[in-house]
Each structure stands twice: as C-alpha cells, then as structure tokens.
Amino acid sequence: MSGHEFQSFFPESGSIDHTDTSTAITETTLTELRQIAARYPHKRSALLPMLHLVQSVDGRVSPAGIQACAEVLEITAAQVSGVATFYTMYRRRPAGKHHVGVCTTALCAVMGGDYLLETVSQKLGIEPGEVTPDGTISLERLECNAACDFAPVMMVNWEFMDNMTPDKADQLLDDLASGRVVKSTRGATLTSWREAERVLAGFPDGRADEGPGAGEASLLGLRVAAERGWKAPEAPHTEAISDGKEATQ
Amino acid sequence: MTDVLTPVLSANWADERPWKITNYEHRGGYSALRKALVQAPSQVMDVVKESGLRGRGGAGFPTGMKWSFVPQANPNPKYLVVNADESEPGTCKDMPLMLASPHTLVEGVIISSYAIGCKYAFIYCRGEVLHVIRRLQQAVREAYSSGYLGRNILGSGFDLDVVVHAGAGAYICGEETALLDSLEGRRGQPRLRPPFPAVAGLYACPTVINNVESIASVPAIIEHGARWFSSMGTEKSKGMTIYSLSGHVQRPGQFEAPLGITLRQLLELSGGMREGHQLKFWTPGGSSTPILTADHLDVPLDYEGMAAAGTMLGTKALQCFDETTSVVRTTLRWVEFYKHESCGKCTPCREGNWWLVQLLTAFEQGKAVPGDIEKLLDICDDIGGRSFCALADGAVACVTSAVRHFRSEFEAGMKTPAWELFPYQASALFGARQEVHA
Amino acid sequence: MTLTANTAQVVVSDLITVTIDGIDVQVPKGTLAIRAAEMIGVAIPRFCDHPLLEPMGACRQCLVEVPDMGNGRGMPKPQASCTLECAPGMKIATQVTSPVAEKAQRGMIEFLLINHPLDCPICDKGGECPLQNQAMSSGRGESRYEGVKRTFPKPVSISAQILLDRERCVLCARCTRFSEQISGDPFIALVERGALQQVGFYEDQPYDSYFSGNVVQICPVGALTSAAYRFQSRPFDLVSTPTTCEHCAAGCQLRSDHRHYQVKRRLAGDAPEVNEEWNCDRGRFAFVSGRGEDRLRYPLIREDGVLRPASWPEAIDAAVAGLSRLGDKVGVLTGGRLTLEDSYGYAKFARTVLGTNNIDFRARPHTAEEADFLATRVAGRTLGEGVSYAALEEATQVVLVGLEPEEESPIVFLRLRKATRKNRTHVVTLAPFASNGTVKLGASLVQTAPGEEAAALDNLTADANTVILLGERAGWLPGVLTAAAALADRSGAALAWVPRRAGDRGAVEAGCLPGLLPGGRPVADATARVDLQAAWGVHALPATAGLDADKMLAASGNLGLIVAGVEASDFTSSAAALAALERTPFLISIEQRHSEVTERADVVFPVALMEERAGTFLNWEHRRGRVNTVVKHSTSPMTDLRVLAALADALGRPLGIRTAKSALAEFDELGAWETSAPVATPSITPVAVAEADGLLLATWRELIDGSRSNDGETALQATAKAVFARVSPNTAADLEVETGDPISVQSDSGWLILSVYVTNNMADGVVWVPTNAPGTPLSNLGVTAGDLVLVSKGGAA
Ligand SMILES: Cc1cc2nc3c(=O)[nH]c(=O)nc-3n(C[C@H](O)[C@H](O)[C@H](O)COP(=O)(O)O)c2cc1C
Ligand code: SF4
Ligand code: FES
C-alpha cells in the first residue's frame, strides 16, 4: 500500500464552493464578527477567528461568510478567499455534526494510523474529505497533531482521542452515530464540530475545566522523577532578583 | 551534578486541576511576576540573558539577546507573540504544558512583555487543539480577574493585554514571519528578512516571537535566578527542557531534564524499545532534523552535541522507530507532510516536494529505477539552501539523512515494495482489521 | 575596471563598491545585487523580480553566491539577488563565475518546468517569454521529470478582458503584487497553498481594474492573456513602434505592435518619468474604433440636401466656394484628438487664412475665467517650470480640484498612489463624495457640492510643498480657478492644470483659443500680434478676441463652422450643439469617422487615424510625446494639416505648413511669448445658486464610458463600472429610494432613468451622474455640474 493518493488534476481548486449559497448568518453573527475584529489593534488580524465563526454558523466557509468578513474588514472578497483557502481547517463543504480526523503523518501512520484510517473509512463508507450521507460524521486525514506520545492519534471535533485502536475507533464511531455521550481522552465531553469552531473564534463554551490536566504520557517523566527522587536544583538563596520578601522565603 | 530529571515546567502537571489560577498560585505561581515588576525591565532582561536560555522552538537562539534587539527608542508599540503553533512532526511538548499549566505561560508572557516594553501580547496557538485553547482562554480571563493583566498590573503601572489567537491549520505558521502574516489576517507565508521582526514585525512594529517553552521558562528563571538556571545543562546549552519521547518505545512521554541528557538515558527511563525490538532510527528534534541511528545513543541531546552529529536539537522530539520500520515509507510520509504544508511561495519547496513525493512513492512501490537515488539526492541539493524559508530544508534533511544511513533500503526500492521488505503490520501497535491490500 | 551608476543625483559619498564576478562596481547604497549586476552587463535570470514592485524573493531563480558579505565572511547559502542589498566590499558571484549559482539556477528552471504545460506553440507569450528564454538558455535538453503534471481546468476569465491559465503560471505574484501595490485593486489574490497555490479571484467580484492590462504585460509567462489579443499574433510577426497615447493628457509612452496594416496590441512603454512601465486599459485596448463600418474613406459633399461621395478636388472646390462666401464669418471648433501640430495648423489657418480669432478647442463647458486662467497661468509654461510627475511624488500635500485622477488621468492617479505609499504624500480632494480612487489614495475628502469649491479653497491650508492639481472641471464653475490661483499665490504652492484630453495642453500652446495666439501670445497684446505677423509673414492679424465655442454655436445662424474632432455629446447639450450645426450656413467637418457632425456637414474631409500619422502630444506636464506613424500604407491618408494646406492654397492664402514636421519646426521657431508679468486673473464672484426645487448635479467622465473611442473593444467595455446615480443617505431618504431603485433625473430637455446608489459621506442635495455612460449621456439633458435637476423615484416622470 502507498501513502496519500497522488492527485494531479484539480478541477475544483481555487475558491470556495459558490454553488451552495445558503447561509445562516444573521445580524447577530455580524455583531459577533465585529466583536472579534475589535479584539485586535488592527482589525484584519481578526480574519482567522472570524472565519472560524463563519464555520460555526454555516458549517463551512460560505460565500455569505466571505462577503461578511470582507465587509467588516474592508478588504476584498478575493483577499478573504486567499486566506480561507490557505488553511486546512477551513472547509468548502459542510462538515458533519462530528468531524473525525486520523493522523497519518509518519509516526502515527507507522504505528497504526494507516490501519485506523482504513477502518474508519470502511466503517463509515466514506473517503477522507467526505461526509456520511446522514451528515453525522465527516472524515479527514490529519497531519501531525502534536500528540505523538499518544500515537496513534485521532481527533474528534479537534479534541484528543489518544492511543486509538481499531476497536476503540469502532466504538467511538458507534457512540457518535447514536448520540451517546463521548468524552475526549484529554479534553471535554464532545459537543459538535460547530460548537468547537465557535470556541476557536474566541467565544468560550464553559468547558475548560472538564477533563484531566495531563495524560499519562505527559506525566511519565514527572512520575519517574518522583519514584527516583529526582528534582530540579534548589534555588541559591543569594542570587534571585531581590524584592526582600520572596527572595528570602 | 544535577539530577537526571529536573521537573520545573512540568512540576505541577500532576496536581489537582493545575490549570486553575488558585492552584497555580498555591504553588507559588505569579510570585515571579511580583518579583519582576519591582525591577526595571532592563534588569529582568539581563537575568534572562545571563541565564543562557536559548529558544526552545527549534533554532536555539539566545532568548535574552533576541529581546535586546528590540529598539526601545522606537516610538512604535512593541509586541510579544508566543509561538504556540507546535506542528513539527513528533513535537508534542508545548500542548501538554498549556493544557496542564497555562498559567506558567501566561505568567511568562507578562514578565517577558514587561521586560521588552510590550503592552499587547498574542498567544498564537494552532487551531486543532480545542481543549488547549479553552484552557488558555480561561487562564487569560482568570489572569485579568486577578489583576495580573489589564491596566496597572499589581499596582506597578504596567499595562498589558493578551489575546489568545487560534490558527487554522498550517504548519508553516510556526515559522515566525509566516506566523506574523497569519496573525495579521493574511496567508501564512514567510516574510523577507531583513527587516527582522525585532525591528519591524507585527504591524511593522518591533516584535519578539518566542516559543511556548521559552516563555514558560521565564518565571522560573526570574524566581530562582540566572545562576540556578544555568547550573543545569551543558556549557552552551543551559537549563532544563522538555524532551518528548514517542514511537516504538515501551512508554512514550514527556521528560523534563537538563540539556545534554542522552537518548540512551531517556530510553532507559521509558523502559526501552518495545518488547523484543531494537532502535533503528530516530529524530532528535522533529522530522526536520536529520535522522540518527543507534550509533548516536550516547550523543548529548544539546545544541552542540547534535550539531556535531550532523543534525540539530530542534524541538527535542525524539521519535524512535524500531527495526520493523521501513525508512523509505517513513521518509515518504514526512515528505508528503512537507508537500502538504509547503506554503507555495517559493519554487524549490513547492515544486521540489511535489516531485520528491512522486520519486519516493516509486521507491516505496519498488518501482524506482537505477539512477533514482542520485536523482533524489540531486533534487534535494537543488532544494536545500535554495528555498525562501527553512521548511524545505527540513524536508530535504529527512531525505538525505535517510539515504545516508539507509541507502540499501533505497536500493531495494528498485525491486521490492517497502511493504514486502518491512510488512507494515509489524510496525503497527495493532493489526489491520481486514487484510489490507498491498 | 570600475563602473559607476549613471545616477547624476547620487552624491558620490553615498556610493559603495561591490565586486561582481571579479568586477568592481560602484552603486548607490541599498542597490539590489540583481541591478548592480545589470550594470556590468550580467543579466541574472528572474521571474518574480520587477523593479517597480516590492522585492519578494519567491521564485528563487536569481540565486547567486556571496563569498564575502563585505566583512570577510561568506554567506553559507546562495542568496536571491533580487532581495540582496549590496554592502560595501561585498563580493558576489553570479552564474557567470559561480558553479553553485549556475547549478542553483538550472535547478530552479527545472522545477518551474516540471509542472508547466510546455504549450509554447499555442501560447501568446511564445517568442517573448522569459520562461521560454530561460529554459532555452539554461534548461535541460530533456526533462528528468517523469511524474504527473499538475493540471487545472483551462483558462478562467478573471474579468471580461483578462484570462488566466493556471497551468502556465510560475507563481511569481507579479500580478497580485501589481494589483495590490500599484493600482490598489486586490481583486486577484494568491489562493490555496503549496503545490496548489494559484492566482485566484472571487467570482462575484471580477478583476475589473482600469489597469488590468498591465498584469498581462508583466506576467513572465503566458498565464495571463487578454481577450483582445489572445491568439491574434506571434510576437515575432509583429512590428513595434513607440508612440504616445491619444486617450488622455497623461502622456503615456506606448509600444504599438502591428501586423498586416493593423495594430494588434498596444503595450505600456518604458518611460520612467511619465508612465513608468504602466498604462491604463483604455490606452492599452481602445485602438480599434477606427476600424468600423463608419470609417470615412472619401470626401463627401452635400448636393441637393444629400451628402454624396466626392473626389478630393471636388470637395476642396466646394469648401472653398463656401468659405469664400462667408469671408471672416467663420469659426473653428477643434477637438481632443488633435496633436500639437494639428492644433497649430488650425490656429494659424483661422488667423491667416480665415482672418478670425473665432477658434476654441473647448468642446465642453467653459468660461471666460478659464480662458484667462489658461492664458495667464498655463500657456507658455514649459516642462521645467511647471509641476511634473516627479514633483507629485515629492510633494507633501496634493490638492485635487475638479479632478478624479483615476477616471480622468489614470497615470496621475498611479503616481499619486505611489507618492502616498512611498512618501506618505497626503492627498486632499474637493469632491461631493469619496470616490473609489479617493479611497485608494487614502485621500482626505473636503466634501463640496458643485459650486462650493471656491469657498473650500479659500479655507484650505497649503505651503510651498503643496501641489494643486486642477482638472478640466475646475474651469466650469465660477471662481474656482481664481480661488486656486489665489491659494497658490498666498502659500507658494505649485499649480498645475490637468486637462482630460490628450490634445488640450497642445491646443493651448498652439493658440486654439479666441484670445490666445500660438506660444501664449495674447490677442489683446499688440506687440505679440506684431511679433507673430512678422513670423508668419502676414500684414495683419485679427485684433479683436474671437468667439469662444459656446458663442460660436450661439451665433451659428450667420457663422460658418469648421469642426474637427468634436462630437455633439462633448458639449453640455448635444441637442443644442446639433441645432447650432444645422443652423450654420456652411459646415466643414474634418473627421475620421461618420458622426452626428459629419451628417450635418456641407463638406466632409476624411483624415488619418492615430496610428496612420505622426505628431506630438503635450501632456499635462507640458512634456512632449512623439506620435509615430505605426501603420504605413502605400498611399498615406490625408491629415488635418494637409487638408488645411490644400484649402489655404485653393483660397490663395497659403498656410506655409503641410506636414507635422514643418508645423512643429515653425511652432518651435516662434517660441513662447515672454510676457513681463502675468496678467492678474480676474476675480469672479461665484454666482449664488438660486433656491429652487431639485438637486445640484455633480458629474465627471468615467475612464471607460460611452466615448466613441472605445468602440469595437467589447471586452474593454464590459469592464466599465456599473452605472449609478449617487445620492447621500439623507437625500435618498427624502426621495424615498434605496440602492438599486430606479430614479429619473430630469431637466428641461429630457430625462434619464438610472439606478440609484446611496453613497455615504456624500453631500446632501446633490445627485452625481456619470457624464457619458453608455446609453445615458448627460448631454441628452443639456445640463452640467452645478445645474439643478429634478430627481424623482421610479421611472419616467
Ligand atoms: C517551518 C518552520 C516551522 C516552525 N514551527 C515552529 C513551531 O511550531 N513552534 C515554534 O515555537 N517554533 C517554530 N519554528 C521556529 C520559529 O520560526 C522561531 O524560530 C521560534 O518560534 C522562535 O522562538 P524561540 O527563540 O523561543 O525558539 C518553526 C520554524 C520553521 C522554519
Ligand atoms: S520553503 Fe518556500 S514554499 Fe516552502 S514553506 Fe518556505 S517559503 Fe513556503
Ligand atoms: S527574481 Fe529573485 S527570487 Fe524571483
């Protein structure tokens, strides 16, 4: 088997999908877009989070979303489109309620990511880049998601699903499909991809306190150090910047 | 001699809800900030300079020196941008840090901003890590409520705003100038240097860009002093750092140790390679650093040691692969990553990686022909050192080092598919559900 | 050997010495290595580099080695010479001496070709393609690439005029940088990333830029092509001639390429002082209007009320008969297509052959105040004395009065944009609203309803670093030119008149004004007349000022008219102009194409098209631009000058000039009139606008409009701006209309239906309408800026 398929004809590249003009953007969305813009010294900085918000509303980067961003930021639609098509998290077609990603960069791929992707794809009956017909799950092939010590890694709605196996993936997909409560291994209870996008736009969902502080792999060194009594050197008392109180504690 | 492991940044990760500000404060959090705020900014900068802290984002540039490049006389606002894009394959240290103890970073941001005269700082975090972003957002909010952010911080007269900014999927945005363009709402493509960000960065104003771990190290340095920090590590590679061990090891994970530890030591701590297998090759700091083999187990994992071994310390992401692994396959996957992540700005990276992927695919399929190794290396020669930024250098590094150490596997790629030489099933932690086609 | 940059203004101490391929070169500090190498004749190959765009360093084709940065240390990697600034003592090794650079460049061309379709035989660029040239000179004979090429669907139209073939693109980003940096129309942008990166646009917002043709010209491959030129010719079959554009007073230098007696395309010439390397789409694409069925091919005379073809001698006889009957009861109306030489011919013809000062080039609204202003502040000024493009760049403030540079003088617009970007020049504009061009200049709007400009000028601050640019419309409203002159006088600001049409500046110098003789000689000044009499070898010149264009039309009942290059719609009221032409006892029309004027003429003389003749245009700076004969037929068509000379001969009062060359020589011989002190400009009190119902009309001509000179170029016309009538939100509320609603704009003589665009920051009580939009010319209403019109919601009143 080989890696990614080699594609060389790109009939649909170059822009977002203009055939679907539906939108759920309202006056409230516009207000929120302006709120995001106001966070920055120069409003154009807000474009990435604004596009996340557009996705949370329209399920993708919609033509109306592009226009709205262009208007708020006073730039051209072509400029927004140039940004929207540069980043992989922006979608041209609606995502599923849940968005599943399987890492297949070298390390995860070798350790089982390729098999995971195959399993998930077969179970869902869709290829990476597609959405199940019922719109529940979309699938994506991921590049390294900074969780290599938990390989192979899957992500659902950009929450970690660490140390994945085909069996666990099977169960996970069943749970997602049937609407059961699913918890991320190092995160919160899964909500939906759209809700996740809203958080990325800077509108918190109140779930920061869910989940653990760290996964077991993250704690490994700390545990070994504790077992063996290793720690960082003591601070020399004489030297730290002194403001009197703390330095002599 | 310091201990083998020296948890500082990770010391509180196993605490109860370590991400909460009260728990962080309970452990002495934000006391370094109080210390810093009664000093002159230049003194704070001096301590960081003296500590010998070098950037933990990959290049190892001395952090204090970078700060000192900010022209304080420049009338424009100064900015601090934390590079939390962590996307280099194998790298997974910043995310657990921010997930477990976001306040370590926030405190570092405040102290560092104070030192360089910044009033508006950004944490640019890759977007694909929802929970990390939640924790960062909350930590910033908590810091505002506690008076560590906002106007007149702790009565010092120092003002600072911090924005947590979510990226949207682009490895290149970890490159600092591409990050700046991205943060300005543009396509994340690297900028011409000079001008350097320290002089004209974000919004063409003086800007310091540092890795998460670099900034997170600052509170401890201020708290315990430059000498304390430099008492750890080696001559030119000071302090403690986080090493990420992944791959075919018994127990992958994060290890915080003084710079200069060896992979042999780390492997020993993680229980060695998985049962019945041996180390075949590894990356010292992500896929962009030339791979090493079991011959290099005892080379100190510091900047100098790695340079001497013909590679780089990079992000200290130690991806370990055992003898079941096909080097050709792994290399192809890495190059596919670079092809996918190339920003497209410059010719050698955009076109070269496109080509390399096709060539390496032939090797994986056993369809390469004589002369292809030379061609591969020649193309690498035309890419490496010719591109606009270092992304393409990383792509080339994994190919050339793979050929250097494992040429015979590439030669075999002229006859036999990699999956026949190295059945892929053997490398995975579990088998395929169905027989996967060859 | 040491070479020195040919830059006179560079102080020697600012020069540094670098060594390129072993040769020492002195260059100004900051010079890029790629340009320094050019000075020793080394052409480093390049794609993304363009001297007028900000350096990018993207294509990596221009790599060189730097064995010494000037501090004894070399650079470890090859460097892009297009972004590398020379440092003192730097050593640079190009492909000529460095095998590393040579290999790097070979490698790069190989990369650029792996995904290129290699379709040179069917590509417009084939034969003049930098990529093709580079591939030929340093590419491999055979490709080492055996993979699959990246393919996209074939060309996409990014505008009605411009097509994009993504497979050919080398992603140098010249086009996108041009659109963003130079013209400020970023409707094209790089989209996607990595190997999929491509130039893109947004479907609902095509690349409708007045400057879009430039991207075709600077594209180093055939990725961008124009609908107009696509598949028209191969470059090696074309003959190129430098010439000057006839569409406006900017004075763009062009390269006109023809084949088979037809101009196939026009390109911006390389004229650093004028248009740099750019031009506008009208200048580039609008050159086919003379090719239609309506081209006049032989003289016409009126017989029994009908125009019939005639031979040249017949037509001259008929014209002479008519003119002889009229004596000096004749007037001459000249238009914008005339060169300096033509205008001089008409000016001399009027005085020496017809014996009248009835001549005026202002086929448009005009005032006596303007004539005075032109006589005292414009005529006789030479290039060095006035404002130049360079001066615009250096000014700290530029004030625009009655001028929308993007519409009316596009190259002035580009230079102002450069000034605002590079030198932070501040532009102030007196206008009823902030136009698109105003926004792109970051200009401050001094909101003025038509008629308020003079008062606004009185309140403006200016200094010696200010330039005041007066458009032709500044002359239409009472008091504006006077107020501008007063502002200049009290602040030391420089003043320049930026007329709209290519021939206007020359017409002033040539004396196509009722009170002004050639070289700025006032008719009223007896010594000036005597001077000219001597030069022209005539006994007397008419001593009284003639009639201006409006007065000629008004008096046409007993005034014969010679009309050249004028359309009825040029005047405020086309109906009134046509009625006047019908009234005249005798009308001679000297024209290229059938028109409403020729229809009414008694004698029609056909004359040569722009590309068939030579001459000179004086641009707004008073800079001369050569018009060269591009297409040479075996029999040369008649020119205005030859028609005039033939008439003069037949009338027994020879004109003395017959060719452009002799006309220019004589004009130069005359020289400019050295007046002692400029005559004070008469102060005009603005007439108060009567309180009446209606809205004040504001208007200007848009660059791509219903002008007949755009005829035949449908792709160009399709990129015209959408036609709107603009009103402020308050006015819209009064009218109970919203954007998109139809409104009618009505005058005594008619009405137009337009859709409305509610425009923020617009003066209340004003309606803006484009002067000459296709199908809705304002001249149908017989009103102009400052007049009152009735505006109401909905269709016809
Ligand atoms: C292609 C590329 C990707 C990079 N990605 C990251 C990253 O994800 N995180 C990071 O901190 N630095 C990354 N860097 C390094 C940064 O450019 C920069 O050197 C670093 O952020 C500086 O911080 P430091 O001095 O604290 O290490 C990357 C560099 C390159 C060339
Ligand atoms: S090497 Fe070139 S194409 Fe690749 S990421 Fe850097 S600038 Fe972009
Ligand atoms: S011409 Fe220098 S990089 Fe393109």
**What structural domains does chain A harbor?**
9-94 (1.10.10.1590), 98-191 (3.40.30.10)
ipTM of the complex: 0.95
**Residue C690 pLDDT level (bands cut at 50, 70, 90):** low
Average pLDDT over residues C72-79: 97
CA B369 to chain centre: 37
Instruction: Give me the pLDDT at residue C138, please.
Output: 84
Q: Provide the mean pLDDT of chain A.
A: 93
Ligand 3 centroid to Cα of residue C61, in Å, is 5
The answer to whether A122 touches B91, Cβ cutoff 8 Å, is no
Average pLDDT over residues C631-638: 83
For residue range C316-329, list pLDDT tens digits in order. 999 999 999 999 99
| Helix or strand (DSSP H, E) at B318 | strand B317-322
Average pLDDT over residues C6-32: 83
DSSP state of A242: P
Q: Nearest residue CA, atom 1 of ligand 1?
A: B391
Q: Which atom number of ligand 1 is nearest to the Cα of residue B57?
A: 27
Closest residue in A to C180 (Cα) is: A79
For residue range A63-92, list pLDDT tens digits in order. 999 999 999 999 999 999 999 999 999 999
Q: Say which residues have a Cβ less than 8 Å from residue C425's Cβ, sequence separation at least 6.
A: C392, C393, C395, C396, C397, C398, C416, C419
pLDDT tens for chain B, residues 1 to 438: 799 999 999 999 999 999 999 999 999 999 999 999 999 999 999 999 999 999 999 999 999 999 999 999 999 999 999 999 999 999 999 999 999 999 999 999 999 999 999 999 999 999 999 999 999 999 999 999 999 999 999 999 999 999 999 999 999 999 999 999 999 999 999 999 999 999 999 999 999 999 999 999 999 999 999 999 999 999 999 999 999 999 999 999 999 999 999 999 999 999 999 999 999 999 999 999 999 999 999 999 999 999 999 999 999 999 999 999 999 999 999 999 999 999 999 999 999 999 999 999 999 999 999 999 999 999 999 999 999 999 999 999 999 999 999 999 999 999 999 999 999 999 999 976 554 443
**Residue C103 pLDDT level (bands cut at 50, 70, 90):** very high
The answer to whether C295 touches C593, Cβ cutoff 8 Å, is yes
Instruction: Give me the pLDDT at residue C683, please.
Output: 54
The Cα angle at residue B126 between residues B124 and B128, in degrees rounded to 5:
150
Identity of residue A60:
R
Cβ–Cβ gap B347/C55 under 8 Å: no
Instruction: Give me the pLDDT at residue C756, please.
Output: 97
Cβ–Cβ gap C78/B385 under 8 Å: yes
SS3 at position A147: coil
Substitution target from B339, B354, B358, B361 for chain C, most C beta carbons within 10 A: B354
**Residue C675 pLDDT level (bands cut at 50, 70, 90):** low
SS3 at position B254: strand
Q: Say which residues have a Cβ less than 8 Å from residue C215's Cβ, sequence separation at least 6.
A: C162, C174, C175, C178, C179, C188, C224
DSSP state of C631: S
Identity of residue B295:
D
Residue C218 has pLDDT above 70, yes or no: yes
Interface contact B187, partner C, CB < 8 A:
yes
Alpha helices for C249-373 (secondary structure H): 281-285, 312-326, 340-348, 368-373
Q: Is C97 exposed, middle or buried (0-12, 13-18, 19+ CB in 10 A)?
A: middle
For residue range C562-571, list pLDDT tens digits in order. 999 999 999 9
- C66, C562, C34: which is closest to C338 by C-alpha? C562
Closest residue in C to A77 (Cα) is: C202
Residue C794 has pLDDT above 50, yes or no: yes
SS3 at position C149: coil
Ligand 3 centroid to Cα of residue C562, in Å, is 57
Q: What is the spatial distance between Cα B314 and Cα B59, in angstroms, rounded to a whole number?
A: 6
CA A171 to chain centre: 21
Instruction: Give me the pLDDT at residue C139, please.
Output: 86
Ligand 1 centroid to Cα of residue B185, in Å, is 19
Instruction: Give me the pLDDT at residue C635, please.
Output: 76
Instruction: Give me the pLDDT at residue C681, please.
Output: 55
Cβ–Cβ gap B385/C77 under 8 Å: yes
Q: Is B66 exposed, middle or buried (0-12, 13-18, 19+ CB in 10 A)?
A: buried
What's the gap in Å between the CA of B178 and the closest CA on chain C? 13
For residue range A209-224, list pLDDT tens digits in order. 999 999 999 999 999 9
For residue range C356-371, list pLDDT tens digits in order. 999 999 999 999 999 9
The Cα angle at residue B388 between residues B387 and B390, in degrees rounded to 5:
75
Distances, alpha carbon B177 to alpha carbons B68, B187, B210, C432, C632, in Å:
19, 11, 12, 42, 56
Q: What is the spatial distance between Cα C477 and Cα C35, in angstroms, rounded to a whole number?
A: 49
For residue range C619-632, list pLDDT tens digits in order. 999 999 999 999 98
Instruction: Give me the pLDDT at residue C682, please.
Output: 55
**Residue C337 pLDDT level (bands cut at 50, 70, 90):** confident
Q: Provide the mean pLDDT of chain C.
A: 94
Distances, alpha carbon C548 to alpha carbons C331, C363, C373, C512, in Å:
9, 10, 14, 10
The answer to whether C224 touches C215, Cβ cutoff 8 Å, is yes
What's the gap in Å between the CA of A81 and the closest CA on chain C? 7
The answer to whether B165 touches B123, Cβ cutoff 8 Å, is yes
